[in-house]
Amino acid sequence: MRPLRLMVGIGGFAIACALGAAVAHAAPRFWIELPRASVALATYETLPQAPPPTPRAIERRLRKGRRDRVELLSRGPRPADLRVLEELGLKVHYLSRWLSAVSVEANPEQLLAIRRRLPSARIRPVRTWTRPLPRPAESGLPESRPKAGGFDYGASWIQNQQIQTDQMHDLGFTGEGVRVLILDTGFLRTHPAFGRLRVVDEWDFVFGDSLTRNEAVDVPAQHNHGTGTLGVLAGWAPGELIGPAFGAEFLLAKTEKLDTETRVEEDNFVAALEWGEARGADLITASLGYLSFPDSPDSFSYTFADLDGNTAVTTRAMDDIVALGVLALSAIGNSGAKGASSLITPSDGDSVLAIGSVLADSTVSAFSSRGPTADGRIKPDLMARGTATIWAAADSTFRAASGTSLATPLAAGAAVLVLQAHPEWGPGAAMNALRSTATLAATPNNDHGWGIVQSWRASFEFEAPIYPLPFDLLAPADSTSLASGPITFRWRRATDLQGGGCVYRLELSARRDFSTLLAAHDAGTDSTRSLSFLPGGAFYWRVVATDPEGHERPTVPRLLSLQSPTASVPAPAPLWGILGHPTPNPFNPRVRLDFVLDRSAELRAEIYDVAGRRVRRLFDGALAEGEHRWVWEGEDDRGRMVSSGVYLFRLEATARDGGTLRWGRRLVLVR
């Protein structure tokens, strides 16, 4: 028996090995669902699968995921069963840990061999869907109305005003800090709508490469739909189109193949979800759907009875991504009021927000699909404008188009702003707030759902934000180049809705994501900070506001270039230290944290809960170089014992010369 080799995959490369072959497969594809292994598996060199989770994804799972599901979904099929499939010579397209399944090409003889060798396996066909294309607009361009004191939305003003995202923009909410996964046909990032677009990563799950724009193998219209929906969500072209979440960051996944029709294959969809979740997504939006009912010649279609929220592979995968802490939205479909129900997968999921379409006057679009699900639940969940919606046309213009696939990114943008206002909320809390504050929350039905999403109400009326509101930097201006110093940094004060004042910290970094720091300087309650010693060259700066409860709100970073250092001194050397692993962990009743520092520094050591609230400050002051130790006995700042759960230990240190350190450790208290 040839052993199956194990390795840790890098990024999306493992996925490319087999999913690129999805374009022209000779044999039908099937899901082979297998019993789960008893422990989490390593990555298989010969089997394509999602990359390892990033630290951002791990933190989100700990803070917002369902604890029982996080561990379970890390375990894929048993290694011995996978070896059997390899011995049978099956071509594996994708291994899904979440489903504990692999998608394979298999002929009848191979299927018989699988049933004989693996009697516990469950075999299902990989479904191929069609997604109805956007409909032409029923009217001309909507009214253009620049908002006094705000942004010039052009013809996109009404679609923002209807869901209150213009009000959120006025308060400074733009999606900054929220990471969005969008699944579609491809994306032309050179469109003038994307003047502020921030893409963290992209992947083509059809051809298995890192380009989601059109390639030589694509039909000309391939990236049209994805470009349009991304523009609705993230566009920044004042006077033409402004999307609700233009300040967010994005993961772009190309999952559909256009030829004679728009085709979506389930294993591409599942692979994209697992990839995006591992890359740290906070929200996923998809304007996709399943093939029609059994009157279609495609025998792989779903029936209405399958739309129960627990059957379709894509619905199950969407439930899994929500269990890991990601908010999920999906278009309900464009089949109108047809029969008992006309919704599509994965919008039938009970943890998925299904999005329908309305006109500018808030009436339901005739084409918008209706519920209920097969088990009687109300669908859609929320509505947004999907008739004559301004989107980014692939010919670099701005036009009106119609379909629930346009309403969905609008609703997703509104949800992004709600997550920015409430970074402590998991998907369940966000769904509850969005539904309970929509326009028909008191009388939901299968035409309108809970009504048109209201982002301001969901952010402020359901439960007031506990974090400081977003605030702006004033000077120096972005991309400024200066020759000498000292330099005075200025910013607006942040509003803390809890009534306490904020303190501020000025941070400098060579990276826009501030994953490492050049320096950090406390400003106390002031809104200015003058510095004489700065590194030469280009670096980013931002300000972090911290409220009395320890909640932090950073500004959007700005780039600053110095032609030469503002003083003839070297940049601060990085502060060096070692933070040991918590001992023991899990712990009861106490945990020990050992720390070594190479030079004296001002240091703060604190304990936070998973919602970001400070529980205990262990130390705040000057600390000499050498070895140090803290012991936490599970009490808060008032001496009360805290409950069992996951806590975060944070350590921040700044030396006199400006060198900085930041560390974090996860603590598990079991009483």
In a domain, 139, yes or no: no
In a domain, 447, yes or no: no
At which of 421, 445, 464 does a domain end? Answer: 421
Give pLDDT tens digits for 298-336: 445 678 888 999 998 999 999 999 999 999 999 999 989
Quick one: pLDDT at residue 564?
A: 63
CATH of the domain at 659: 2.60.40.4070
**Residue 471 pLDDT > 60:** yes
Same domain, 405 and 478: no
Q: Residue 179: CB partners within 8 Å, gap ≥ 6?
A: 56, 200, 248, 249, 250, 251, 279, 280, 281, 282, 283
Q: Residue 131: CB partners within 8 Å, gap ≥ 6?
A: 256, 262, 264, 287, 288, 289, 405
Quick one: pLDDT at residue 16?
A: 35
Share of the chain above pLDDT 70, in %: 87
More confident residue, 342 or 364: 364
Same domain, 81 and 189: no
Quick one: pLDDT at residue 42?
A: 60
Share of the chain above pLDDT 90, in %: 56
DSSP 401-441: EESHHHHHHHHHHHHHHHHHH-TT--HHHHHHHHHHTSTTT
Quick one: pLDDT at residue 27?
A: 66
Quick one: pLDDT at residue 483?
A: 77
Q: Collapsing DSSP states into helix, strand and coil, what is residue 185?
A: coil
Same domain, 109 and 161: no
The least confident of 40-44, 208-212, 338-342 is: 40-44
Q: Residue 423: CB partners within 8 Å, gap ≥ 6?
A: 177, 467, 612
Quick one: pLDDT at residue 289?
A: 65
Q: Which of 266-280, 542-556, 639-653 has the highest mean pLDDT?
A: 266-280
Report residue 290's pLDDT band, with 50, 70 and 90 as the boundaries: low
CA neighbor of 91 nearest in space, from 35, 42, 47, 36: 47
Report residue 24's pLDDT band, with 50, 70 and 90 as the boundaries: very low
Quick one: pLDDT at residue 25?
A: 44
The least confident of 124-133, 155-164, 308-317, 496-505 is: 124-133
Same domain, 371 and 282: yes
More confident residue, 107 or 573: 107
Quick one: pLDDT at residue 573?
A: 59
CA neighbor of 354 nearest in space, from 280, 434, 300, 281: 434
List of E strands, 472-610: 473-475, 480-482, 487-491, 503-509, 519-524, 528-531, 537-546, 552-554, 558-562, 577-579, 591-597, 601-609
In a domain, 453, yes or no: no
CA 585 to chain centre: 29
**Residue 632 pLDDT > 90:** yes
CA neighbor of 166 nearest in space, from 249, 284, 283, 245: 245
Same domain, 247 and 374: yes
* pTM exceeds 0.95, yes or no: no
Quick one: pLDDT at residue 371?
A: 95
**Residue 591 pLDDT > 50:** yes
Quick one: pLDDT at residue 43?
A: 61
CATH of the domain at 181: 3.40.50.200
Same domain, 516 and 596: no
Residues in the chain: 671
Q: What is the mean pLDDT of residues 380-390?
A: 97
The least confident of 50-54, 62-66, 514-518 is: 514-518
Burial 362-389 (b: 16+ CB within 10 A, else e): eebbebbbbbbbbeebbbbbbbbbbbbb
In a domain, 636, yes or no: yes
Same domain, 265 and 373: yes
Quick one: pLDDT at residue 263?
A: 53
Residue 173 domain boundaries? 154-421
The strand order across the sheet containing 135-136 reads: 135-136, 398-402, 389-392
Quick one: pLDDT at residue 243?
A: 98
Give pLDDT tens digits for 178-231: 999 999 989 999 999 998 999 999 999 988 888 899 888 888 888 999 999 999
Same domain, 553 and 588: no
In a domain, 7, yes or no: no
Same domain, 654 and 592: yes
**Residue 41 pLDDT > 80:** no
At which of 531, 562, 593 does a domain end? Answer: 562
**Residue 94 pLDDT > 70:** yes
Distance CA 654, CA 602 (A): 5
At which of 383, 399, 421 does a domain end? Answer: 421
Quick one: pLDDT at residue 646?
A: 85
Q: What is the mean pLDDT of residues 628-655?
A: 88
The least confident of 18-32, 176-190, 221-235, 408-422 is: 18-32
Same domain, 112 and 191: no
Quick one: pLDDT at residue 237?
A: 96
3-state secondary structure 111-159: HHHHHHHCCCCEEEECCEEECCCCEECCCCCCCCCCCCCCCCCHHHHHH
Looking at the structure of the chain, the number of domains it has is 4
More confident residue, 457 or 565: 457
In a domain, 445, yes or no: no
Report residue 291's pLDDT band, with 50, 70 and 90 as the boundaries: very low
In a domain, 568, yes or no: no
Average pLDDT, the chain: 86
Same domain, 478 and 525: yes
CATH of the domain at 542: 2.60.40.10
**Residue 529 pLDDT > 60:** yes
Q: How many CA atoms lie within 13 A of 113 on its CB side?
A: 13
How large is the greatest C-alpha to C-alpha distance in the chain, in angstroms?
78
Quick one: pLDDT at residue 292?
A: 46
Q: What is the mean pLDDT of residues 614-636?
A: 89
The least confident of 1-10, 226-235, 265-274, 523-532 is: 1-10
Rounded to 10 deg, the angle between the 108-117 and 79-87 helix axes is: 150
Distance CA 225, CA 228 (A): 5
Same domain, 527 and 588: no
Distance CA 319, CA 99 (A): 11
In a domain, 184, yes or no: yes
